Chains A and B, each alone.
Chain A
Amino acid sequence: MIVEFGHFALVLALVAAIVQAVVPLWGALRGAPSAMRVGDRAAELQFFATACAFGALTYAFVVSDFSLRLVALNSHSAKPMLYKVTGVWANHEGSMLLWVLMLALFGVMISVFGRMIPGAVRAAVLSVQAMIGVGFYAFILLTSNPFERIGPAPLDGQGMNPLLQDIGVALHPPLLYLGYVGFSTAFSFAVAALITGRVDPAWARWMRPWVLFAWSGLTAGIALGSWWAYYELGWGGFWFWDPVENASFMPWLIGTALLHSAIVVEKRNALLKWTILLAILTFSLSLIGTFLVRSGILTSVHAFATDPERGAFILLMLCIYIGGALTLFAWRAARIEDRGVFALWSRETGLLVNNMMLTVACGVVFVGTLYPLVLELVTGDKISVGAPYFNQSFLPIFAVTMLLAALGPFLAWKRARPRDLARRAGLTAALALGVTASAALALGLAEPVGLFGIFVAAWLASATLQELLRRSGAPGPAARVLRRMAGLPRSAWGLYLGHLGLAIVAAGVVAVSVWRDEAIQTVQPGEATAVGPYEFTLLEVENTRGPNYQTSIAAVRVTRTGELVAVLFPERRWYPVEQKPTTEAGIRTLWHGDLYAVLGDPAGSGGFVTRYYYNPGVPWMWLGAALIALAALISLTDRRLRVGAPSTRRAPVPQPAE
């Protein structure tokens, strides 16, 4: 009964979305406030209905209702409750339901927190948001209905891939979707601007909080997925240039560009057209990512061609949404006039360069991800584009982007003095070279690529810190500098923490690529193995049981020059329902790196295969990523952007675009 209610609620959400797509837009174009207000009510109803549908599906998973096909295929009565709940979105249908739930959530949040946005603009935004929703509700109801029953109901479910029975990967999709789907708001604001013809600094100020919020979620989601791969897949890899990863990385790259160009619109009333185009592109890449992941085209081009129902549906939606928005852009953009004026040496130019580099970097990932698919469809040739290609093409471009990111904040708005830039860059170069040289000497590194990587990270970090201090009035009395630092606007803190976070991530990536120590061997309990400066000793292996698995847990003692550093407990689990093993690495995080142990197969005569690693820098990657996500949230609380906060300035006067 509850399941049927959920199905009904989903249909109701579709109806609400249709109303929300049509009525407020009509009202906005005709200037009818009562019709515009329908958008707010419809957004509330749509969210409520979708939340009910999602709740009903969650209920079915919680009570293990195996008469529901989805539950029978993806759950099991013996699964811990946490993973019964997270199992809701660990499958195609459920994850699409989560997708629309997020979409509806953003719609209702725009309605609730966007009271200061003029009625016509808000109505148009909500309408576009609902147009996206209509397509996805139809997609779910027609091709991916999560509420499908089967009869007779099986006695128990088939379980869930044990790799996914993990808290990291369980929280990964909601965060990722927060970003992925959150960019729909930017798309809606952009299309609404094209429809209403209103683009000005106020427009950017309304849109930017949503972009910041979504971008923060996407950053955290990507990092969480990477972290999961690191500790779960059993050998410490964290990024594979897998198409699924690229699908989330592309919106991140373009979203980063959008975040920066929106600042120029807000502060300088320049780059209007470009920012609108970026907003459309960012969400278009989210849609393309959804298509790549959800159509099955990645598993096999042929599987997609023989069972095209879902893929063809999403492809059709891609054409309608992306094609429609770009056509609208081509048609209306000529009416938007860029009035911004700035000198060649200026912050504006810096941000334009940032946008160019990030777009090119994203383009490279895009080509590399889609090339094999297109080639196979066109010529039938099967090729692979993997990590070696991306490392060679993307990393140099991104390294240059980071070098330039350090210089951007040195430039003043409107007109910067090249001499200031040269002086600050000189100091930065000296600091970065110093750090690189001492790292090379202290740790004995001669590999040019590694040295360059350290230089890039040190360059960005020292430039960011230098600029933070300068802006706080240094050199000067420490107390005054600290006081000024605390008084800096939140958006400035967002800049410094974000750039610093990126530098820390880069430092971590370089460190683990260059200095990782590894040992793979068969050992008897009691046997010691040297791993870099550490000594790993397998103490014992104990067999025991978890809630829905059997497990062998090893105790591995780690010492350094005879002193105990940690005891690690790597596990090797066996999930009988799913007939699959998983490895759980034993990890101890130190400030400079992770001690990482993996238990492998028993090797006869009481021995075990073990893999031991010392992964320097890895904790910095997670710290840096967390800092980046946090920076966006701090920037979000800036007074200028705080949604609904009383404006210290005069309310923006609506003005016609022409």
Chain B
Amino acid sequence: MRTILILLMLMGAPALALEPGEMFTDTALEERARYIGRQLRCVKCRNQSIFDSNAGIARDLRVVVRERITAGDSDGEILDYVSARYGDYVLLKPPVAAHTYALWLAPFALLLAGGLALTLSLRRVAQRSAAQADADRAPPEEKT
């Protein structure tokens, strides 16, 4: 029974996300590999980075990333290297390009719109307050 169980596990179970064999012994390099790993999407999974994923393709990509690091590429060069082969889809942080301008400008546009709406509504309240203050002041003036 026990051997069957172990066999089953070996056959069917995907590996855990990051395996000891892959890792760099140098912590600085390992940090870089992880940072890049978190920027890249596992193409087979739903919204998981290759750092988080246990799929085979994610593992392969992690190995590629580490090879490029060893080869001396910069972080940007590695991301370019992978996206040149798999498309922009693998970049969890989309590139700034014509088709993503709207996405990257959205937070600023929303803040601007929010600020504008806030200013306008506060001004309207101020006008209303002024009008009411005038109305409050009016009766005594009539008496005089």
* Bound Cα distance A353, B31 (Å): 39
**B130: nearest residue on chain A (CB-CB)?**
A341
A548-589 residues at the B interface, CB under 8 angstroms: 550, 552, 572, 574, 576, 579-581, 583
Closest to A603 in B: B20
A298 within 8 Å of B by Cβ? yes
Residues in A neighbouring B47, C-beta threshold 8 A? 240-243, 384, 386
**Contact in complex: B10, A601 (CB < 8 Å):** yes
A282 part of interface (Cβ distance < 8 Å): no
| Cβ–Cβ contact A359 & B114, under 8 A | yes
- A462 to B18: give the CA distance in the assembly, Å: 40
A367 to B110, CA, bound (A): 10
Tell yes or no: A299 within 8 A of B by CB.
yes
Closest to A550 in B: B5
> Chain B contacts of A580 at CB under 8 A?
12
Task: Say yes or no: is A165 at the interface (Cβ < 8 Å to chain B).
Answer: no
Chain A proximity mask over B90-129: 1 for CB below 8 Å, otherwise 0: 1111100001101100110011011101100110111011
Residue from B16, B49, B88, B132 in contact with A386 in the complex, judged by beta carbons closer than 8 Å = B49
B107's partner among A356, A385, A393 (CB-CB below 8 A) is A393
User: Which residues on the A side are within 8 Å of B20 (C-beta)?
Assistant: 520-522, 609
Q: How far is the CA of A241 from the CA of B126 in the complex (A)?
A: 40
* Minimum distance in angstroms from B63 CB to a CB of chain A: 15
User: Does residue B137 face the partner (Cβ distance < 8 Å to A)?
Assistant: no
Pair B114/A357 contact, Cβ less than 8 Å: yes
**A residues near B41, Cβ cutoff 8 Å:** 384, 386
A339 contact set on B, CB distance < 8 A:
128
Q: Across the A-B interface, how many residue pairs have beta carbons closer than 8 Å?
A: 158
Select from chain A the residue with minimum beta-carbon distance to B105: A367
Contacts of B124 in A (CB 8 A): 338
Q: Which residues of B contact A601 (CB under 8 A)?
A: 9-10, 13, 15-16
Binds B, one of A53-61, A76-84, A209-217, A342-350: A342-350
A383 CA to B69 CA in the complex, in Å?
25
| Shortest Cβ distance from residue A361 to the other chain B in the assembled complex, whole angstroms | 9
Given A384-B90, A602-B10, A583 and B16 touching (CB < 8 A)? Answer: yes
A237 and B52 contact, CB distance less than 8 A: yes
**Whole-angstrom distance between the alpha carbons of A270 and B122 in the complex?**
12
Q: Does B87 contact A (CB under 8 A)?
A: yes
A375 at the interface (CB under 8 A from B): yes
Q: Are A609 and B16 in contact (CB under 8 A)?
A: yes
Number of B interface residues in the complex (CB < 8 A): 54
Which residue of the partner chain B has the closest CB to A394?
Answer: B107
Smallest Cβ-Cβ distance to A582: which chain B residue: B13
CB pair A235 B52 closer than 8 Å: yes
**A352–B23 CB distance below 8 A:** no
Query: With a CB–CB cut-off of 8 A, which chain A residues contact B14?
Result: 581
Residues on A with C-beta less than 8 A from B12 are: 574, 579-581
With both beta carbons as reference points, the residue of chain B lying nearest to A551 in the complex is identified as B5
CA distance A521 to B23 in the complex (A): 9
Which of B5, B8, B16, B118 lies at the interface centre, i.e. has the most chain A CB atoms within 10 A of its CB?
Answer: B16
Q: How far is the CA of A601 from the CA of B93 in the complex (A)?
A: 32
Which residues does chain B contribute within 8 Å of A338, judged by CB atoms? 124, 128
Task: Determine whether the beta carbon of A385 is less than 8 Å from that of B111.
Answer: no
- CB neighbours (8 Å) of A340 from chain B are 125, 128
Whether the pair A379, B99 counts as a contact (CB closer than 8 A) is yes
Does A312 make an interface contact (CB < 8 A)?
A: no
Are B103 and A384 interface neighbours, CB within 8 A?
A: no
Q: A357–B100 Cα gap in the complex (Å)?
A: 23
- Interface contact A367-B87, CB-CB below 8 Å: no
Q: A343-B129, A352-B122 are in contact. Are A520 and B19 (CB under 8 A)?
A: yes
A581 & B17 in contact (Cβ 8 Å cutoff)? no
- In the bound assembly, the distance between CA atoms of A57 and B111 in angstroms comes to 47
- Other-chain residue from A349, A367, A386 in contact with B122 (beta carbon distance below 8 A): A349
Interface residue A392 (Cβ < 8 Å from any Cβ of B): yes
Is B6 part of the contact surface with A, judged by Cβ < 8 Å? yes
Interface pair B118/A368, CB less than 8 Å apart: no
Q: Give Cα distance in the complex from A65 to B96, angstroms.
A: 54
Question: Are A384's CB and B106's CB within 8 A?
Answer: no
Minimum distance in angstroms from B3 CB to a CB of chain A: 10
Instruction: Contact check, B10 vs A360: say whether CB atoms are below 8 A apart.
Output: no
- Residues of A contacting B111 in the complex (Cβ-Cβ under 8 angstroms): 360, 397
Chain A residues in 8 Å Cβ range of B88:
381-384
Return chain A residues, CB-CB under 8 Å to B39: 388
9 cross-chain pairs, A with B, having the tightest CB-CB distances, nearest first: A386-B92, A388-B93, A367-B106, A581-B13, A600-B16, A363-B110, A382-B89, A360-B114, A356-B114
> Could you give 9 example pairs across A and B, Cβ below 8 Å?
A242-B46, A338-B128, A356-B117, A360-B107, A360-B110, A371-B103, A383-B94, A384-B90, A392-B93
Q: Which residues of B contact A (CB under 8 A)?
A: 2, 5-6, 8-10, 12-21, 23, 38-39, 41, 46-49, 52, 87-94, 99-100, 102-103, 106-107, 110-111, 113-115, 117-118, 121-122, 124-126, 128-129, 132
**Residues of A with Cβ closer than 8 Å to B?**
234-235, 237, 240-243, 270, 274, 298-299, 338-344, 348-349, 352-353, 356-357, 359-360, 363-364, 367-368, 371, 375, 379, 381-389, 392-393, 397, 520-522, 543, 550, 552, 572, 574, 576, 579-581, 583, 598, 600-602, 609, 611
